[in-house]
Amino acid sequence: MKMKLFFIILIGVLQLVLSSCEEPFEGSSDIQGGQIVIYGRVSNLLDDTYVEIGITKNKSSKPAEVEGATIQLIDGEGGITEFCEKRLGIYAPSDIDFKGTVGEEYSIRILLPDGREYVSSKQEILTPTVIDRVNAEFVKREVIRETETSSILNFMELTIDSDFIDLEEEKFIRWDLEETFTIFQTVFPSPMPRYFTCFVNQNMSLQRLNLVSTSALSNSKIEGIYLGDRLVDYAFGVKHATEFFQRRINEEAYNYWIDIEKVSTISGSIFDNPPAPVRGNVSNSQNSDEIVLGYFEATGSTVRRFFSYGAELSEPQEDPCIFSGFRVNYASYCRNCLNHPNSSYEFERWYATDEEF
């Protein structure tokens, strides 16, 4: 509830009583970018360990990817796992079967092509906790737009039931949501029509962090933990999979994510706490004054999946890439489905076989 207080905190108290308003502000700012961002995760799950390196840009939330880094994952006994660049700026263990060991401590060492070296603190993979059930319910919501007109939209409301077994030991949990869906490239009339299918795998963009400390709970078994609403759009046209990750993290990581939540969910109400820069556990080993953004964490993770099919929805979604003789403008990913962020021609095996675990 403590986190929730800051999150929900009386957003509309004054809006309620009065005609309070908000409008874009183009005032003074000092957006320059240039800070390095390092996010790393080691997990007990397959394909769940990676490091992402970027440099912040002016007026862009997506940092510029840093290529050519040398990354080592070091375990508590000095054992080293080498990483290779899987995608631009994203590095994963060279051993594709790598899974972190529960109870083991890990740290990372990163060497950039320009010679800068970064190291993280040690983080231990804690014993994962159990997901009882995941729930996805399709609901209609009235949404007030910035133009102050309202409309009814379909959403997928995601909740989870979990069992933390006992509350003797304080546990810190973060839930992540990822999604995988299919997009078809537009088939334009041609003597030799080209059929391409891409698969998008990405973090669900909810701009919301789901965190809990079991010290705040009276019952180890909790039901209906609300994780977020996903707007039902073209991603649900064919097949959509939601992955629920329940990640057990340590207290230091929990406090870091709480701070991230505070600065990323500011509502602008009169109750907002002043924002501040958030610093993680990665530092430049040659220059301790350099600001390094991001965090390296070890997670004991559990995953459950939920699948939905376009044909089963009460209001099927229209394919935005379907060819029409009267249309001129197509989204760039309709012309080339690889233009869609986080897309590829490959997909995970569980996506094809509907594996829920």
Partner 1 sequence: MHFRAVFLIVLLLPIKVFGQAIASSDTLVIVGSNPANQTPQLMLSGSVETSGGIALPNANIKVKNQWKGTSTDDNGNYEMKMEPGRYSLMVLHVGMDTLDVDVIMVESGSLKFVMNESLVSLDEIIISGSKPSDNFEENIAGVERVPLSEIMKMPAFLGEADVINSITFLPGVSRAGDGASGFNVRGGRADQNLILFNQAPLFNSSHVLGFFSVFNSDIIQGVTLYKGHIPVNYGGRISSVLDISERAPDFEEFKIKASISNVIAKATLDIPLKNQKTSILLAGRISYSDWILNQMEDPVLRNSSAGFYDVNASIFHKEKDHLISASFFRTGDNFQYSNEFGFEWSNTTANVGWSYLIDERWNNDLKASYNNYDADFLDLQGAEAGTLKNGLKYFQFKDEVSFEINNDHILLGGVEYINYQLKPERIQPNSENSSLRSDEVEKGQGHQIDFFLSDELTINERFKSSIGFRVSNFIRTGPDQIYIYDTIPPALATEITDTLVFENGEKIADYHGFEPRISFTYILSKENSIKLSYNRLYQYLQQISNTTSATPTDFWLLSNNYILPQASNNYSLGYFQNFGFGKFEVSLEGFYRDQQNQIVFVDLPDLILNPAIERELVQGKGRAYGVEFLIKKNLGRLTGWLSYTYSRAEYFIDNQFSEELETEKWIPSPYDIPHQFSFLMNYKVGLKNNFSADFVYNSGRPYTGLSSAYILNGTVVPNFSDRNDFRMPSYFRLDLSFTINGFIGQQKKYKDRLQLTLYNITFRKNPYSIYFRTPVNFKFPQAYKFSVLGTVFPSITYSFEI
Contact predicate 246/162, CB 8 Å: yes
Torsion, Cα of 133, 134, 138, 144 (10° steps): 130
166 binds partner 1 (CB under 8 A): no
Nearer to partner 1, 5 or 96 (CB): 5
Judged by CB under 8 A, the residue of 101, 127, 264, 285 near partner 1 is 264
Terminus-to-terminus CA distance in the chain, angstroms? 30
Q: Which H helix or E strand runs over 258?
A: helix 251-264
Does 252 interact with partner 1 (rule: CB under 8 A)?
Answer: no
Nearer Cβ to partner 1 (115/268): 268
Residue 33 interacting with partner 1 (CB under 8 A): yes
* Near partner 1 by CB under 8 A: residue from 147, 190, 207, 329: 207
* Distance (Å, whole) CA 18 – CA 50: 48
Q: Work out whether 206 is an interface residue with partner 1 (CB under 8 A).
A: yes
* Closest approach of partner 1 to the CB of residue 182, in Å: 19
Closer residue to partner 1 (CB): 267 or 284: 267
> What is the closest distance, in whole angstroms, from the C-beta atom of residue 25 to partner 1 in the complex?
4
286 CB-side CA count, 13 A: 8
Q: Cβ 274 to partner 1, closest distance in Å?
A: 5
Nearest CA to 12 among 273, 275, 264, 267? 267
* 96 makes contact with partner 1 (CB under 8 A): no
Question: Could you say whether residue 47 binds partner 1 (CB under 8 A)?
Answer: no
Report the relative pairing of strands 123-124 and 105-111 from DSSP bridges: antiparallel
Distance CA 54, CA 60 (A): 12
> What tokens were used for 39?
């996010």
Select the span of 128-136, 236-244, 260-268, 329-337 touching partner 1 (CB under 8 A): 260-268
**Position among 232, 258, 282, 298 found at the interface with partner 1 (CB under 8 A):** 258
Chosen residue from 45, 111, 187, 222 binding partner 1 by CB under 8 A: 222
276 binds partner 1 (CB under 8 A): yes
Q: Which of 181, 178, 236, 241 is nearest to 206 (CA)?
A: 178
Binding residue for partner 1, selected from 115, 274, 329, 357, defined by CB under 8 A: 274
Partners of 107 in beta bridges: 74
Residue 58 sits in the site that holds partner 1 (CB under 8 A): yes
Q: How far apart are CA 137 and CA 224, in angstroms?
A: 11
Among 178, 307, 330, 331, binds partner 1 (CB under 8 A): 178
Give Cα 185 to chain centroid, integer Å. Answer: 25
Site membership for partner 1, residue 197 (CB under 8 A):
no
286-325 footprint of partner 1 as x/- string (CB under 8 A): -------xxx------------------------------
Q: How many residues bind partner 1 (CB under 8 A)?
A: 93
Residue 200 engages partner 1 in binding (rule: CB under 8 A): no
- Taking the least distance from each CB to partner 1, the nearer of 19 and 190 is 19
Give whole-number Cα distances, 53 to 40, 111, 172, 201, 226, in Å. 9, 11, 26, 19, 31
Binding residue (CB under 8 A) for partner 1 from 130, 216, 322, 338: 216
Q: How many residues does the chain have?
A: 357
Least distance CB 249 / partner 1 (angstroms): 11
Binding flag, residue 88, partner 1 (CB under 8 A): no
Query: What Rg, from alpha-carbon coordinates, does the chain have?
Result: 22
Q: How far is CA 243 from CA 134, 135, 249, 303, in A?
A: 9, 11, 18, 7
